[in-house]
A and B are shown apart, each in its own frame.
Chain A
Amino acid sequence: MLGGTPRDARRTERYLDGLMAADERRAAEIPVDTDIDPAICLATRQLRADLVRVHPSFRFEEALAARLAAGAARLQAGLPVRQPEATAAAGILAAFRGPGAAEAPSNVAAGQSAVAPAMGLSHSPAMSFRRLPDVAAHPRRPLIMGGVGVGVASAAISLGAVYVAWRHSHPTSGRMSRAVRAAHGRASHSGRRRSGVINEILGVVS
């Protein structure tokens, strides 16, 4: 019975057809060929129960529908369904809204940015399909590339310089510090100030 002959294969197919038809009409009983291997019947029923159809997420379904709609629009316009790789790699223009957004050029067509062609960037057709606001239609604030890194480094250097200056003007007053200063023959600002006052007093006295 466990042979792979066409006759056995046909028997298995009939059982499979019967199983699927019974499922469709929600019948509990399935006609079984007595010659068929019970192990195959069991495996078939197991797979029928377990290999269920999977549906993608609603979000994915709608996003792909929008991309297909954009592709269909391109196809109707005589363009390829997908944008060329170079254009796609340039990315979608996403600009910051500036205070002058209200003064955006009036000749900007809906769904098409005026600055995009000049920048060599493409506007997402999905935006026009979904009637999303076109952020690229508004004037943009200039961006400094690498601005974050430069800013952080600059701030760190400034803080370091301030700290060194502060430490220089505020020496510690511990015994050890005084000993170190004495050993190096150096006097602190306050020490110099104190010694100056003492010298003046001594001079006055003398």
Chain B
Amino acid sequence: MLAKSEVGARPARLDRDRGLVEAAQRDPSRFDALYRKYLAQVYSYAYYELRDHHAAEDATERVFMQALAGLPRFEERVDEFIASRGVTATSGSASDMADISTFRVWLFRIARNVVANERRSDRRRLAAPLEDALGLSAPDDVAESVAAREAGSAAWRAVARLPEDRRRAVILRFVDEMGTAEIAAVLGRSEGAVRVLLHRALRSVAQDLRRQLS
């Protein structure tokens, strides 16, 4: 476990968005930089979860509006963040720490809540296909394109069948390219739990793909 003195020794390196966040807290019109930086990530998360462009746009708007409204109260809670994740010096996660954004974690916690509310309030969107966004390959090779699309949709179908927590972890890992530590903070779990979650998710996807191919 990292000692508190060690933690306190490098808070400046901890949040890569610190400069942007502080600027936006001083002048809310500077929030635009954070918005542009994280728009695609938040939108992608909402899109893969809700599978509908319009619903994803609504959710994205709500996320950023809530973030803007809550920005004056946002604090970079370094100590709590580390302690809640149970980081160990031997886990290799310490090197990750320089690349963690507590702002991104905070933003994705908002996104997780907004998307969960959206899914609860309207389940009709689940009928909309997502395959259009997947499996695009070189347009001149039709056979390869068709094969890639089929494989892509098969992979997505496998992900869509995963339980909610595993699916979220997969999306955060593959689409938003978060590390285990950040996913753990977003989902409110320990790193070990997220690691097992991802491993089981990939195992399920592998089995599903094998079944679909056979």
Contacts and interface: CB of A to CB of B under 8 A. Distances in A.
Contact of A47 (B64, B69, B205): B205
B64 to A, nearest CB: 6
Nearest to B173: A16
B133 A54 contact: yes
Interface stretch (B15-23, B32-40, B103-111, B121-129): B32-40
B64 A68 contact: yes
Contacts of A13: 180, 195, 198-199
Contact of A51 (B40, B65, B175, B195): B175
A13 B195 CA distance: 7
A54 B175 CA distance: 9
A102 interface: no
A40 B57 contact: no
Interface string A46-90: 111111111110001100110111011101100011100000000
Contacts of B27: 76
Contacts, number: 144
B69 A54 contact: no
A80 B72 CA distance: 12
Given A43-B209, A47-B170, A81-B65, A56 B40 contact: yes
Interface residues on B, range: 35 or more
Given A50-B151, A51-B48, A55-B43, A44 B64 contact: no
A44 B156 CA distance: 12
Which applies to chain A's interface (DSSP): helix, strand, loop or mixed?
helix
Nearest to A81: B69
Nearest to A8: B199
Which applies to chain B's interface (DSSP): helix, strand, loop or mixed?
helix
A126 interface: no
B29 interface: yes
Contacts of B176: 53
Nearest to A42: B206
B28 A47 contact: no
A8 B44 CA distance: 29
Given A39-B210, A54-B40, A71 B203 contact: no
A6 interface: yes
Contact of A54 (B44, B65, B196, B199): B44
Contacts of B56: 56
B100 interface: no
B60 A64 contact: yes
B114 interface: no
Contact of B159 (A8, A47, A54, A76): A47
A61 B65 CA distance: 13
Contact of B192 (A6, A60, A61, A75): A6
A65 B27 CA distance: 15
A46 B180 contact: no
A82 B27 CA distance: 17
A59 to B, nearest CB: 10
Contacts of A40: 199, 202-203, 206
9 contacts: A40-B203, A46-B155, A46-B205, A47-B159, A47-B170, A55-B44, A56-B57, A67-B61, A72-B32
- What are the nearest 9 A-B pairs in CB distance? A72-B28, A9-B199, A43-B206, A39-B206, A51-B174, A9-B195, A81-B69, A50-B152, A12-B199
